[in-house]
Chains A and B, each alone.
Chain A
């Protein structure tokens, strides 16, 4: 294969990764690989390199946080999977949802069993770290706000602004990681609960001012399944403890929020629900990339979350549609 041929083939592999090849182009692309072991090898290398580059860059960020703070931040999919495997997750699935907004148990759950939080009638989360009971928010200092700076709520008139990262005895101090938590009691779900095919879906929206985004801001949404609220763990908890004390977990991160204050970015997390899970702990976090500023009293310039939703779906029904 000459240089030009290889360049063309690799450019086509890039289009393949984007799902941009037409049926005809796909056939031709496959035929090229069928005819040439060298091309199959080049394709394999590109696919592997692509994941490897992501891992390399992810590792750089996690390592730099760890080195600066001397405290582990374990968000990577690799570690999540480690924990999943190590804990031996048992699975369940079906379809339904948890509850609506504000405060006490059963009233939280709407008729369709969906939870929806856009901070319209909710005070700012308690600032004591992880709450010790279900259905209230807790965590760092945050503020329920109307339109603020250049940001408008994604839904309703209010949203939540991350202000500081310093709840008492926070295991990862340093003022760069602001987070909120909420326990959801799954026993309140007004359905014939969770058969073997229930999957929980949690989503949240994030936004930041242009200045905050330029400084660098990641956002994450993680969920952890428990049979009960572990009293020995709340309220100050490292992510590592959450990983190893939960039955199952799932999470995602936006590596770098965009600089457009008009666009909200969403994270959606799915998890097959373990049969014995009675509680889900939701963790929503924003962390500044500039970890050279380590003053715990530092106020985040403009990081927001809104429109948090929980629902359940039937995995099997979904697949059979």
Chain B
């Protein structure tokens, strides 16, 4: 595969791959770093890839292993999902086409969220604060924050489905 083809294959998968790596790292910053490392490694391994599908599968596996290595190198015990579950999730993980559709719909849905919910999302995902820090800044209990986030995600999910079906997509 040529470098241009690889770029055209991996870049659109960025969001889907980072969120997949985050299942292992439980840390989106680290997942983002891993995506960059995987891209660098991929450029150095062009001759390994025959098809785009192959390159994406390779990126999932290499990134997953790299994530586990990174956690071990930090001396952290890996408390996470088993290989079997990671494999199962990998096989069902959305591709770029689906994740792009979700992203576009989600962008519309976030704008419909109440100011309080938008603030909660900003603290949690834009500033990437853990639940405990979010709770501290909002003066709320940790469980209340987790439940609120769960409700927002559910509402966003419903809104996304409505948006997609209004466009005739699933």
Q: Bound state CA distance, A15 and B134, in angstroms?
A: 13
Q: Is the CB of B154 within 8 A of A51?
A: no
- Looking at chain A's contact residues, the main secondary structure is helix
Residues of B within 8 A of A41 (CB): 92
Q: Is the CB of A89 within 8 A of B40?
A: yes
Q: Bound state CA distance, A53 and B33, in angstroms?
A: 18
Q: CB-CB contacts of B28-66 with A at 8 A, as 1s and 0s? A: 110111011101111110000000000000000000000
B30 to chain A, nearest CB (A): 11
Q: Is the CB of A48 within 8 A of B41?
A: no
B97 to chain A, nearest CB (A): 13
Q: Is the CB of A91 within 8 A of B41?
A: yes
Residues of A within 8 A of B11 (CB): 78, 81-82, 85
Checking A43, A52, A81 against B35 with a beta-carbon cut-off of 8 angstroms, the contacting residue is A81
* Interface bracket on A: 35 or more
Q: Bound state CA distance, A11 and B22, in angstroms?
A: 17
- Report A33-89 residues with CB < 8 Å from chain B CB: 33-34, 40-58, 77-78, 80-82, 84-86, 88-89
Residues of B within 8 A of A321 (CB): 73, 75
Q: Is the CB of A49 within 8 A of B39?
A: no
Q: Is the CB of B125 within 8 A of A50?
A: yes
With A52-B103, A56-B107, A318-B73 as known contacts, state yes or no: A18 contacts B131, CB within 8 Å. yes
Q: Is the CB of B99 within 8 A of A82?
A: no
Q: Bound state CA distance, A20 and B131, in angstroms?
A: 10
Checking A7, A23, A34, A43 against B151 with a beta-carbon cut-off of 8 angstroms, the contacting residue is A7
Q: CB-CB contacts of A78-109 with B at 8 A, as 1s and 0s? A: 10111011101111000000000000000000
Residues of B within 8 A of A49 (CB): 102, 106, 153, 156-157
B60 to chain A, nearest CB (A): 13
Residues of A within 8 A of B140 (CB): none
Residues of A within 8 A of B44 (CB): 89-91
Q: Is the CB of B106 within 8 A of A77?
A: no
- Report A228-259 residues with CB < 8 Å from chain B CB: 248, 250, 252, 255-256
With A91-B44, A272-B40, A321-B73 as known contacts, state yes or no: A56 contacts B150, CB within 8 Å. no
With A19-B27, A51-B18, A85-B6 as known contacts, state yes or no: A7 contacts B150, CB within 8 Å. yes
Considering the complex, give the chain B residue whose CB is closest to the CB of A45: B157
Residues of B within 8 A of A291 (CB): none
Q: Is the CB of A52 within 8 A of B43?
A: no
Number of B residues whose C-beta is below 8 Å from A? Answer: 69
Q: CB-CB contacts of A283-321 with B at 8 A, as 1s and 0s? A: 000000000000000000000000000000000001101
Q: Bound state CA distance, A255 and B130, in angstroms?
A: 15
Q: Bound state CA distance, A26 and B103, in angstroms?
A: 28
Q: Is the CB of B150 within 8 A of A10?
A: yes
- Report B103-162 residues with CB < 8 Å from chain A CB: 103, 106-107, 110, 121-122, 125-128, 130-132, 143, 145-147, 149-151, 153-154, 156-157
Residues of A within 8 A of B127 (CB): 255-256
- Report A177-200 residues with CB < 8 Å from chain B CB: none
With A53-B121, A56-B106 as known contacts, state yes or no: A44 contacts B94, CB within 8 Å. yes
Q: Is the CB of B36 within 8 A of A54?
A: no
With A40-B89, A47-B19, A56-B103 given, name 19 new contacts (CB 8 A). Answer: A8-B150, A10-B149, A14-B145, A16-B26, A34-B85, A41-B92, A47-B20, A49-B153, A49-B157, A51-B28, A52-B103, A54-B28, A55-B103, A81-B35, A84-B36, A85-B43, A86-B7, A252-B29, A321-B75
A-B residue pairs in contact (CB < 8 Å), sample of 26: A8-B150, A11-B147, A13-B153, A14-B149, A19-B79, A20-B131, A30-B82, A40-B88, A44-B92, A45-B153, A48-B19, A48-B99, A49-B106, A49-B153, A50-B22, A51-B19, A52-B103, A52-B106, A55-B15, A57-B126, A77-B32, A81-B39, A85-B11, A85-B42, A250-B36, A252-B29
Interfacial residues, chain B to chain A (CB-CB below 8 A): 3, 6-7, 10-11, 14-16, 18-20, 22-23, 26-29, 31-33, 35-37, 39-44, 69, 72-73, 75, 79-82, 85, 88-89, 92-94, 99, 102-103, 106-107, 110, 121-122, 125-128, 130-132, 143, 145-147, 149-151, 153-154, 156-157
